[in-house]
Structure 1
Amino acid sequence: MDNLSISSVLVLHRFDIPSETVIPAFLFASLSYMIILFCNLILILTIVLNKSLHQPMYLILLNLPINDLIGSSALLPQVIKDLSTGSRTMQYSACVAQAFFLHIYAAGTVFILSAMAYDRYIAICCPLKYNTVMTNAHVMKLITLVWCVILVIIVVLFYLLLRLPRCRSILTNPYCDNPSLLTLVCVDTTINNIYGLVLTASSQAIANGMVLYTYLQILVACFRSRRSDTKAKALQTCATHLIVFLLLECLGLFTILSYRFNNSSLHLRSFMGTLIFPPTLNPIIYGLKTKEIRDKVLHFFRKKMSVSAFMW
């Protein structure tokens, strides 16, 4: 028990930033969040407002920037607020909400990328069946299934957490997540730990297996093609996607495992945990590098620039 055991306000461990670097850090965090909002909203509006992009691949892709906005909005506004006010406290309810949406983001990234890999596998390895299998109705069912699975597993995770009595109010982490909130509990958490481990292991096994298998099949199918341009495009696309996916998996796995070892560096764990946010990369890698989306975005900005020039 500590002196704040009955308080609804948590004391969080923040990064020890020197006073002379607080303003640069605040500006960097604010600029990063503005870039994330801009890039992901542009990608969302481009897909939604262009009927030519209302195709299975882009309908699945649309979920990625939505998920990125959920994750970044759960973390960065709180970081910006803490940098501007120097606060180290947070309401318990706000902490739970932040943790809930961060876990939604983490699970969403894994399952949405898996759905995108499945779509590309059907398109490249079974092109004659693509229009029959990947209808808009089938895609909507797939997207609905993905989000329902995400919500169910995360709701159960936090139900198991919130049923336990809390007796501490000091959180040794700069942001809130399920493992950190479990450290505030003073009763047995075996069920929570087992569920968390099973959930992590099963979701990672399914996602990694699907992504690696589908992209491997895509690469094999493209290298069998006699068209050199097809080979180059497939290698560039698949290699980029795999590198990003594996980077996310490595950072996420490090963060998960670090909670299992008491001697792991708190600052390193906190730093690596914040690196699980790639919402500035996803719009570029999965959006603007796609020719159809890039053309629509460039056309939009050229049109706006020509209108502005005409008005002046």
Structure 2
Amino acid sequence: MNSQTSNLSLTENITTIIRPPYFYISGFTGIPHIKYYYVFLSLVYIVTLMGNTFVMFVISMDRSLQSPKYIAVFNLALTDVCGTTAMVPMLLDMFLFNRQFISYNQCLTSHFFVVIFHIMQSFNLTILSYDRLVAICCPLRYSMLISNRSIFQLTGAAWVLAVLVVLICIGLITRLSFCGSVVINSFFCDHYLLYSLAAPCSDVLPNRVMSNLIPCLVLYIPMIFIIASYICIIHALFTITLPQDRHRAIKTCTAHLMLVAIYYLPMNITYLFVSFIPSNIRILNLSLTSVLPPMLNPIIYVLKTEEFKVSAKRLLKRVAQRAVGPLMLTSRTK
């Protein structure tokens, strides 16, 4: 009798996790003229690859740009390339060729790469903000507080934190059972939508807590730090007596401020008004906020940063001379 009771209690304590063989990504289904949007995404992806690759090439080839600020810019460009590559080709493959069924493991893998690079965009902008804060508010201590080593350490810590956050989310997903719908009403495997599907037959409270914690950790806290740093920067600008020095300090912040606005404003609108935005508009807006900042970041830096423009022109001129030199020598010998 006792053995039967113990066996029964053991059986009751065993929880069976139901994992579906696949999910269905509904994505942009039902949105009119969506194929034009796919063409737009393809162009955005090409421009993103070309622009960010050019930024990384110039920084890696010009020693004058291998400074703490441009190490952070290089990491931002690398993150932009990897983030769009993790999202756009998969998205185009899904919806152009009707491959909207994605396996359970592929879904979690896609979630890992899309989210981690999205988080790193926010962290990179925060590191750049810290660099500008020290450069303008504490110029005499800049070389002491900011160095290539310290930027590498900050960037490494940001990567570790981003990986931990995403792995915790994936770990919380793997403990859920999916006994109902497998339709994800988005264009990728979003954590919120995944645990919402499991809500009828699983305890999703830890997932809900994590879902509320992540925006605070990777979006709002960095944004608050950036706002606070620019309040300090504005205060420091009023103490600069020479107009040319003040103008130069403002110019160094303009490009970064534009990057911050392009990334944080649409993201905040999406998250704050998610319950008021129709589903299709929300999906389009979220996809645009994921692909447009990586495309615009290198364009802004090329156009707004004089130091980078000078280095880029010098490097392109040197490359052109190396390419034209052998041709001119060959024509002379003939």
**Superposition TM-score, scaled by structure 1 size:** 0.87
AA aligned opposite 1:97: T
Equivalent residues in 2 for 1:48-87 (5 A)? Answer: 48-87=60-99
Q: 1:170/1:153 Cα in 2 relative to 1: closer, same or farther (>3 Å)?
A: same
Match of residue 30, structure 1, among 37, 42, 51: 42
Q: Where in structure 2 are there 5+ consecutive unaligned residues?
A: 1-17, 329-334
Q: Report how far residue 247 of structure 1 moved.
A: 4.1
Specify whether residues 193 and 6 from structure 1 end up closer, same or farther in structure 2 by C-alpha distance, changes over 3 A only. Answer: closer
Match of 2:166 in 1: 154
Match of 1:302 among 317, 328, 333: 317
Aligned residue for 1:8? 21
* In structure 1, C-alpha distance between the alignment counterparts of 2:107 and 2:46, rounded to whole Å: 23
Q: Distance in 1 between matches of 2:286 and 2:118?
A: 11
192, 199, 217: which is aligned to 1:179?
A: 192
Matched, 1:137 2:137: no
- CA shift for structure 1 position 53: 1.8
**Cα distance change of structure 1 residues 240 and 100 upon mapping to structure 2, 3 Å threshold:** same
**Equivalences for residues 106-121 of structure 1 within 5 A:** 106-121=118-133
Cα distance, 1:257 vs. partner? 4.2
1:169 maps to: 182
Structure 1 pair 166/18, CA: closer, same or farther in 2 (3 Å)? Answer: same
1:38 to partner: Cα distance: 0.9
Q: After superposition, what is the alpha-carbon deviation per residue over 1:93-152, rounded to whole angstroms, capped at 9, x for unaligned?
A: 222222222221221111111111111111111111111121222222222111111111
Q: What is the identity, as a one-letter code, of the residue corresponding to 2:150?
A: H
Q: For the pair shown, which has the larger CA radius of gyration, 1 or 2?
A: 2
CA–CA distance in structure 2, aligned partners of residues 304 and 17 of structure 1: 46
Partner residue, 1:188: 203
One-letter code aligned to 2:247: A
**Contact 2:252/2:305 (<8 A) preserved:** no
**Alpha carbons of structure 1 residues 161 and 253: separation in structure 2 relative to 1, 3 Å:** farther
Could you say which residue in structure 2 is the equivalent of 1:268? 281
Pair 1:54–1:308, CA change in 2 (3 A): closer
1:292 corresponds, among 301, 307, 312, to: 307
> 3-state DSSP class of the match of 1:86?
coil
Task: Name the SS of the counterpart of 1:90 in structure 2.
Answer: strand
Counterpart check, 1:218 vs 2:233: yes
Question: Taking every aligned residue pair, what percent have the same amino acid on both sides?
Answer: 25
Cα offsets for 1:69-94 (capped at 9, x unmatched): 22211211022223431333223322
Q: Judging changes above 3 Å, is the alpha-carbon distance between structure 1 residues 288 and 243 closer, same or farther for their aligned structure 2 residues?
A: closer
Residue type of the alignment partner of 1:113: L
- Code of the aligned partner of 1:221: A
Structure 1 residues 130 and 34: alpha-carbon distance in aligned structure 2, compared to 1, 3 A threshold: same
Q: Aligned partners of 2:273, 2:218: CA distance in 1, in Å?
A: 19
1:131 partner letter: S
- The CA distance in 2 between the partners of 1:25 and 1:203, in whole Å, is 29
Unaligned stretches of 5+ in structure 1? none
CA drift of 1:308 comes to 4.9
| Deviation of 1:242 (Å) | 2.9
- TM-score scaled to structure 2, two decimals? 0.81
What is the one-letter code of the residue matched to 2:182? S
CA apart distance, 1:296:
2.3
Aligned-pair CA distance for 1:239 = 4.6
Tell me the CA shift for residue 6 of structure 1: 6.4
Deviation at 1:253, TM superposition (A): 2.7
